[in-house]
Amino acid sequence: MASVELRGLTKRFGALAVVDNVSLRIDHGQLVCLLGPSGCGKTTTLRLIAGFLEPSDGEIHVGERLVSSKARTLPPEQRSMSMIFQSYALWPHMTVTENIVYGLRLRKMDRDTIAKKLAKILATTKLEALAQRYPGELSGGQQQRVALARALIVEPETLLLDEPLSNLDANLREEMRFEIRRLHDEYRYTTVYVTHDQSEAMTTADLIAVMNGGRIDQLGTPEDIYARPESEFVARFIGASNVINGTALDGNHVSYAGATLQTVGAPLTAGQSAVVAIRQHDIELSTQAPVSPANAVKAVVTRQVYLGAARDYMLEVADGTTLRATTPTEINIAKGSDVWLTLPPERCRALAR
C-alpha cells in the first residue's frame, strides 16, 4: 500500500478550472471520500488520480513516486490502481469467476496462485455460490460485489471508487455501504471514494473532503464535518442546517430577530454581519416562554408535517425569516400557534465568511 498526495492539483478545460489548486494527503490504508454536488470537481479529481486525465498544474504522488505533473503523466496501467465505475463494467460473456480473475490472467500468474486468490476473494465477498453465473443473472448488489472482488484480487496499492452505489435501490445501497467498509477494514488498501451521498460518506469514510467549485471546502472526520461545519456551504450540504444571518454584538454573541444568540465556532467581529448554523433537530419548541431569554426566539408555526418518527415544523420568526425544526412526534403544535424556540448555545455554530 502507498499514500496518495495531491499538491496544488488543477485541471482546466479552457478557462474553466474544474479542479482548482487542490492539496490533499491520503495516508496508506485510509479511506477518504470526495463528497459534493454534481459539478464540484470530485470525479475529475478521481480521474486525475487514476491517470485518465493530465493535470493543468500541480502534482500527484503515490508513495515516493511522482505519477502526474504538468510535464509528465504515468499511464493508468503503470499506477498499481484498481478503479470501480458506476456501471461496474463487467464482461457480460464471462462468468463471475472469469470476470474476477481477468486481471490476474493478464498478469500471467500461474493457475495455483490464481485458484488460491480466487477462493479467498470469493469467500470474503460471499460470492462462492454465484461463481459460475453470468452478470446478467445477478442482482445489482451481486454485480457490485463482483466488481469489488475483481478490483481487490489484483492487490492494488490504491482503490478508486466512482459513485459505485448510484445504480442500486435505496435498501441495497445501505447494505453495500457497510459491505464496502467491511472489505476496506479487511484489506486496508488506500481508497479514494467519490460520492454525492452524505450517508455513504459518513458510513464508509475515515476522512471526508467536501468539495465545492473545484476546491476542498472542508476536510475532516465524519463527526467533524457534521458537528463542526466551517462554512455555510458545508453546513447546508451536510445534514441540512438552518443558516441564520444576524449582526455580531461581540466575539460570540449575535443579534437575530430581536433575540441574542450565544455562539461557538468562528470568532465574530462586533458590528459586522454574522452567519450561524444550527441543525433542525437541535431546536427546541415550546408554547411556554422560557425562564431565561438567552438564545430564545419567538416564532409562529406556518407548517407542520407528521413524518412517522418525527414532526417537521416550518417556523416564521419576527424578522420574517423562516427556520425548520424536527421534534419527537409527541410534540404536536398546531399551525398558526405562537411558540418559543430555544437554540442551545453549544449548537449555534458561527461560520467563517
Q: Is 101 helix (H, G, I), strand (E, B) or coil?
A: helix
Residue 288 lies in a domain: yes
* 291 & 321 share domain: yes
Residue 107's domain is classified under what CATH number? 3.40.50.300
**CA 256, CA 84: separation in Å to the nearest integer?**
48
Q: Is the pLDDT of residue 1 over 70?
A: no
Of 192, 227, 262, which marks where a domain is finished?
Answer: 227
- Can you give the pLDDT at residue 158? 93
pLDDT, tens only, 210-247: 999 999 999 999 999 999 999 999 999 998 799 999 99
Taking the mean position of all CA atoms in its chain, how far away is CA 104? 32
User: C-alpha cell of 184?
Assistant: 476496506
Pairing relationship of beta strands 207-212 and 31-35 according to DSSP bridges: parallel
**CA 300, CA 314: separation in Å to the nearest integer?**
9
- Can you give the pLDDT at residue 239? 81
Q: Is the pLDDT of residue 326 over 80?
A: yes
* 64 & 125 share domain: yes
* 144 & 216 share domain: yes
**CA 201, CA 40: separation in Å to the nearest integer?**
16
Angle between helices 140-153 and 111-124 (to 10 degrees): 140
Amino acid (one-letter) located at 328: P
**CA 119, CA 96: separation in Å to the nearest integer?**
12
Domain housing 330: 241-350
Nearest 5 degrees, angle CA 333-CA 238-CA 296?
40
- Can you give the pLDDT at residue 141? 82
- Can you give the pLDDT at residue 220? 97
Residue 322 lies in a domain: yes
Query: Which residues is 322 bridged to in the sheet?
Result: 316
* 343 & 262 share domain: yes
Could you give the number of structural domains in the chain? 2
* 279 & 205 share domain: no
Predicted TM-score (pTM) of this structure: 0.87
Of 227, 252, 285, which marks where a domain is finished?
Answer: 227
Q: Is the pLDDT of residue 33 over 90?
A: yes
pLDDT, tens only, 142-182: 888 898 889 888 888 899 999 888 877 777 788 888 888 98
- Can you give the pLDDT at residue 84? 87
pLDDT, tens only, 249-277: 999 999 999 999 999 999 999 999 999 99
